[in-house]
Structure 1
């Protein structure tokens, strides 16, 4: 029988403890913002000592950065990876938006760390702001890449400006967060969906929308789409 104090078992337990702390930190940050995080608050929530929490992260900055990365990982798992299983072009772009809207709907009662973090760190240089910018830019790049693929597939007009379309689609997400979470407007999700359809109508190549009107969630993507 393996010794319970073996380095491997100790490492595994340490990883589990860190994951538990990180999950609690993510929940706190979603409701209170990254600035609401502290070693003391996490110690209280997790029932650990401050020194125990500190041993896993070392500093408040490291804790905040770890939360940003964990949030981004969950965002990818819920929004981007499922969309990659859709066919290239409009089906994938629609899936990205649909998945994103569903995530926003869940975040109405908590909050988006990207948005709250942008307010907290917009004029505060440092490693936490750098991590936020890096993650948000990664998200933006993925959406712009989906738009460019839409052009390559002939679903979007060849004169489409990917950066402009990205700006408009991202603007819808920000407006949805504002109206759904801050103003509590009950029709915000429907308005965002209608607005996205109008963006597609503005940029779609002739006939492209009619060829891809089936709901994205019912599509079965070919194996190559997940690797594209």
Structure 2
């Protein structure tokens, strides 16, 4: 009986977080309301309060849940790929696909909530900032792995890594912003072309990278 209650609690928590991630990607984390979530899901308000305790706790749990979704969609699928710039491209391609498929209805979850909390100090901002820093560090690590394994034309140019990571991230996030605002899937293709041109420019073997990204369909 105790195990059944725990599992029901876990199921309720998952259902709540699935809903809050979707809402936050469109309306922001400040748009979350324990009472409204309970009503939307046909749950008791007291039951939702028992799981999360406060709005801030719900916001933090939502960010952490979104991190796991992001890892499943973008990071883990390329984890075992061979190091090199082709792996970096596949990671970027996964990111563009994650945003373009609207895994979260508002596009990239972290782009949305970062704009909301970037100038508001506190635990929620810290959680978002850490998630974004982890993502940047991961791209930099893959780029540096590619450099150290001979993937760069100039293997001694370690300073290129953070600059290149910044440019790739900028292209992905601009594609997300443009597509969400205008409903234009070509933004992802343009970003993909820009990413590939940048990677091919530093690659020791540019032919190992595609010349063009795949076509992206309209967001559903």
RMSD in angstroms over aligned alpha carbons?
2.1
Contact 1:148 1:162 in 2 (8 A): yes
Give yes or no for the alignment of 1:172 onto 2:151. no
**After the TM superposition, which residues 32-51 of structure 1 pair with which residues of structure 2 at under 5 Å, given as runs?**
32-51=27-46
**After the TM superposition, which residues 49-88 of structure 1 pair with which residues of structure 2 at under 5 Å, given as runs?**
49-88=44-83
Give yes or no for the alignment of 1:91 onto 2:105. no
TM-score if structure 2 supplies the norm length?
0.89
Query: What's 1:152 paired with?
Result: 148
Contact 1:91 1:216 in 2 (8 A): no
Paired residue secondary structure (2:150): coil
From the superposition, tell whether residues 200 and 180 of structure 1 become closer, same or farther in structure 2 (CA, over 3 Å).
Answer: same
Partners in 2 of 1:171 and 1:111 — Cα distance?
15
* Offset at residue 130 of structure 1 (A): 0.8
Contact 1:94 1:216 in 2 (8 A): no
Query: What's 2:217 paired with?
Result: none
Query: What's 1:23 paired with?
Result: 18
Partners in 1 of 2:209 and 2:198 — Cα distance?
15
**Aligned equivalent of 2:4, options 5, 9, 17:** 9
Paired residue secondary structure (2:119): coil
Q: Which runs of 5+ in 2 are unaligned?
A: 215-220
What is the number of equivalent residue pairs in this alignment?
A: 210
Partners in 1 of 2:169 and 2:126 — Cα distance?
20
* Offset at residue 184 of structure 1 (A): 2.9
From the superposition, tell whether residues 131 and 203 of structure 1 become closer, same or farther in structure 2 (CA, over 3 Å).
Answer: same
Q: Which structure: larger Rg?
A: 1
Partners in 2 of 1:196 and 1:212 — Cα distance?
11
From the superposition, tell whether residues 167 and 103 of structure 1 become closer, same or farther in structure 2 (CA, over 3 Å).
Answer: same
Give per-residue Cα distances to partners, 1:147-185, cap 9 Å, x unaligned.
001101111232152110011000001110121111333
TM-score if structure 1 supplies the norm length?
0.86
Partners in 2 of 1:10 and 1:25 — Cα distance?
22
